[in-house]
Amino acid sequence: MKKLILASASPRRFELLSKYDFELEVVTSDITEKINGNEQPQIVAMSLALQKALDVSNKVTDSDIIIAADTIVYNGQILGKPKNKEHAYEMLKSLSGKEHSVFTGIAVLQKGTVLKIVDYQKTIVEFKNLSDRTIENYLNKREYIDKAGSYAIQGLSAAFIKNINGSYSNVVGLPISKLDDILRQYFDFELLNAY
């Protein structure tokens, strides 16, 4: 049976995949994520995902399938992970009352083969208007740390979401339906029939 390697330390991505009944191992990437703000967000997300997958492929020895992803929040500019609380406040204020896009780049490859599939998913998220007090209360919970755009849709900031158009799991960090399509089409592996 094929084993999936998740090239991510994200507990959210692990949780999304661990619902399915197959052997899943986490091997983290050591790449330094450099974002060029002038690039298209989907290109950046796919590039970083591929870099992570290739890095992790050097750490495994057999024919396991490696999955890597990178999620970017975009509102006319790329919003990465906040540097500090003040930076997180600025990001959330810029998202308040508006729509923004969430892009997740995904890279899937199998060690020992030339097969490398790179794609992305886009979801539109609309925030309701957030008061300064609401943002401050949220930041005090420290959930913003290490989150693209300074929020986690599956966490406390679910209260911010007015509307979502597209894949929910994509905003969490891994577009499960697209991943399943890629695994079935190119790797003879189906999430629900993996056992």
For residue 35, pLDDT over 80 is answered with no
Q: H helices within 104-155, ranges in order?
A: 132-140
Residue 193 has pLDDT above 80, yes or no: no
> Which CATH code fits 4-193?
3.90.950.10
| From 70, 119, 132, 146, active-site residue | 70
Domain layout of the chain by residue ranges: 4-193
CA geometry: angle 6, 100, 130, nearest 5 deg:
110
Q: Using alpha carbons, select from 89, 98, 91, 26 the residue that is nearest to residue 59.
A: 26
Angle between helical axes of 132-140 and 85-95 (0-180°, round to 10):
140
**Residue 37: predicted pLDDT:** 61
| Highest-pLDDT range among 5-19, 35-49, 95-109 | 95-109
Distance of alpha carbon 182 from alpha carbon 58, whole angstroms: 22
The pLDDT of residue 131: 97
Residue range 173-183: mean pLDDT, rounded: 96
**Which pLDDT score, from 0 to 100, does residue 34 have?**
73
Average pLDDT of the residues of the chain: 92
User: Closest by alpha carbon to 91, among 100, 82, 99?
Assistant: 82
Write down the H helix ranges in 58-187: 85-95, 132-140, 168-172, 176-187
Q: What is the pLDDT of residue 192?
A: 86
pLDDT of residue 36: 66
Q: Centre a 10 Å sphere on the Cβ of residue 6 and count the other Cβ atoms it contains.
A: 23
Amino acid at 30: D
How high is the pLDDT of residue 168? 96
Would you call 30 a catalytic residue per the annotation?
no
| Nearest-angstrom CA–CA distance, 42 and 29 | 20
Q: What is the pTM of this model?
A: 0.91
Instruction: Determine the Cα angle at 121 with ends 120 and 123, to 5°.
Output: 150
pLDDT at position 108 over 70: yes
